[in-house]
Amino acid sequence: MEFRILGTGSATPQLQRNPSAFTLAIDNFLILIDCGEGTQYRLLQYKIKSFRIKYILISHLHGDHYFGLIGLISTMNMQKRKETLTVFGPKGLNEIITQQLKYSGSILNFKLEFVQTNSEKFEEIFSDDTIKIDSFPLKHRIECTGFLVTKKNSKRKIIADKLPPNFPIPFYRLLKDGFDVNDELNGEVYKNSEYTTEGSNEKKFAYCSDTIFDKSVVKYVKNADLLYHESTFTTELENRAQATFHSTAAQAAQIATLAKVGQLVIGHFSSRYKTEELFLEEAKAVFSQTALAEEGKNFII
């Protein structure tokens, strides 16, 4: 998985920071996580093809996290998208987007599916052979959820160059499942250990959007390989963070420490701050494996 930063700012517009938006690349498709105003311009800037976006996760209905969604959907439609787009988000999002499409006279070329999230409990919202997505409650001024994306263990990898031409497809499946293949017709035995390599291990990415400091989150993000956690303020404005249901950099680092995650990325910086050095210094004092969300930067998971 590759986690890419598109926006690092908070609610007040900032010239140097764009609103919240991120992509998570898994194999040959993308998950877009939050979609603040102007997200489609960030996709263009970083040469990210919107047709690769298969799922969109919206944490809550504050504008800096979803005001870019209708524009992106409209552009996808003009580009003649055909593949289904699934949007996971809170109650009301379906109605908002449906009304915008209705009153703009937009008729989509593709199927748009909405899956409503629940801000009251941890629950699985999607699963297939490749990934599983869970949502979990965050404590903010309005209903808000975090997300846990798990890339499942992959099957063994075939060393195709070692196999003969026209190797039967059922034999491929047996090898990928870890079995030896006895080709009785040709009197050959293909040992799994010789014709495959190990598949990839499970990887977990956790996303904590806007939230007050809340230790109950730890159980949801425990042992994640990478945790993104908002850090709108630094410690000198901890009272402001509490009053607005946001977190400080040090508090984000405390969550990362308690959850024993592999790496922490902090973002959603208040417009009060013109630079981010203090955020990083404060967080690293608590959790050394902390990095700043920098727009355009990729994190390999």
| Helical segments of the chain, H only | 39-45, 69-78, 93-103, 169-176, 192-195, 218-221, 238-243, 249-259, 277-284
64 is catalytic: yes
Instruction: Read off the tokens for 284.
Output: 């690293």
- What is d(CA 242, CA 237) in angstroms, rounded to the nearest whole number? 9
Catalytic residue among 64, 134, 210, 225: 64
- 227 in Cβ contact with 263 (< 8 Å): yes
Give 180's Cβ-side CA count (13 Å radius).
Answer: 8
Q: Whose structure tokens read 């629950």?
A: 123
Burial degree of 147 (CB within 10 A; 0-12, 13-18, 19+) = buried
Distant-in-sequence, close-in-space partners of 160: CB < 8 Å, separation ≥ 6: none
Residues known to be catalytic: 64
